[in-house]
Amino acid sequence: MRFISKFAMAVAAIFFALSVSAQEVKENSSDTRLMKNVVTVGVLENGMVIHDWEWNDTARQLSSKYGLSVEEGGYPSEGLIAQDVEAIYPDAVVVDADGYLVIDIPMLAEQDELIAKMVMEGGADVVFAKKFSKKTRKALIIVSDMRLKKDITKIGTHRNGLSMYTWAWNDLARSLGIVDAPTVGFMAQEAQVLYPQYVTQDASGYLMLNYAALNSI
């Protein structure tokens, strides 16, 4: 089964290493041999771990895109590590021309129900986005009020302690014009308990989250 969708990722970014169309194999590697200063960002409900890293000198020698920001056309440095995926779904990892491991997103989505759902939902990059300009960071302050959501499913836990979810926008949200906003992220009401400084209200009284700030925790 093939899923055709835009995935902003990295969840990931982002979302992480899923920030491609589900029809494509990622152009860049997420091989741990090309990374340094790797830290855990969060854990998905399927047990897969989301990481944040810096590209090392070997990666930078392979391509100038390693090390550039996403806005500059660079490769994301948050997501799934290829070796971790290979241990669970070996068929979802291929070797590139330089001998480094690359995650095959379509194959991974076929084999893992949660990943497939995240690819279909899209927008998970917001959860993990942090290497952006000030202008883009302002755009990451978005409505995330649970009163506007339905079909809420927990998908993991972020390193900041907040649960991560997918959802659909309900009729009330749609009546307010919330249609194309991300459907992966945090619940504003939960964030309000732990990080009230990053929660604001829109003109209609619904809660908004500063995703850039929450991700940096």
Distance of CA 84 to the CA centre of its chain: 16
Any idea where the domains of the chain sit in the sequence? 32-128, 138-215
Give percent of the chain with pLDDT exceeding 70: 76
pTM of the model: 0.65
CA angle 55, 56, 62 (to 5 degrees): 85
- pLDDT over 80 (residue 27): no
Give percent of the chain with pLDDT exceeding 90: 36
Residue with tokens 């690359």: 102
pLDDT of res. 213:
83
The span from the CA of 179 to the CA of 181, in Å, is 6
pLDDT of res. 18:
41
For residue range 169-196, list pLDDT tens digits in order: 999 999 988 877 778 889 999 999 999 9
155 confidence band (pLDDT: 50, 70, 90): confident
Yes or no: say if 190 and 214 are a contact pair by the CB < 8 Å rule.
no
Residue with tokens 């942090």: 130
